[in-house]
Amino acid sequence: MDVEKLLKEQQLKVTPQRKAIIKVLQNTNTVLNAQEIFAEVIKTQPSINFSTVYRNLDVLLTKGILCRITPESGGVLYELRREEGHHHHVICKKCGASIPLDYCPMEDIKKELCKRGFTPTDHRFEIYGYCDRCNKGGL
């Protein structure tokens, strides 16, 4: 993924801070909280402060570059939005692993809601349970 092109497509200024945040999320196979992102970004941008990271996370969320995941345990986790479009997650209640799902049940739900006179404009699904590793380790 070309980070500069991605930012320009969203009409965002290309800054070293934004590039560093996106690269951190590109190079991980898990979701991260703001503090974890900051800890990685500071390695390449030593003069950056946490509030700058946090503000940029908010901008990248607003532009649809990032996804926000809210685990049952609280807090907010971030991941880079996949190129295939939106998706949902199953989240392990024990270890916090987040596994993306490609299926979106919203179309089925939307039909039912429209029958009842409700027009959904946005949605987010998160399913909680236990991953294989935690199931095998015992609860």
Q: Measure CA 30 to chain center.
A: 9
User: How, if at all, do strands 98-101 and 66-69 pair?
Assistant: unpaired
| Structural domain containing residue 134 | 84-139
Q: pTM of the prediction?
A: 0.70
CATH at 57: 1.10.10.10
CA dist 11 and 9 (Å) reads: 5
User: How many Cα atoms sit within 13 Å of 5 on the Cβ side?
Assistant: 2
Do 77 and 14 sit in the same domain of this protein?
A: yes
| Domains: count for the chain | 2
What string of pLDDT tens digits covers the 139 residues of the chain? Answer: 789 998 999 999 999 999 999 999 998 877 899 999 999 999 999 999 999 999 999 999 999 899 888 876 778 889 888 655 567 778 788 877 777 777 788 888 999 999 999 998 877 777 888 888 888 865 5
CA dist 94 and 3 (Å) reads: 33
CATH at 98: 3.30.1490.190
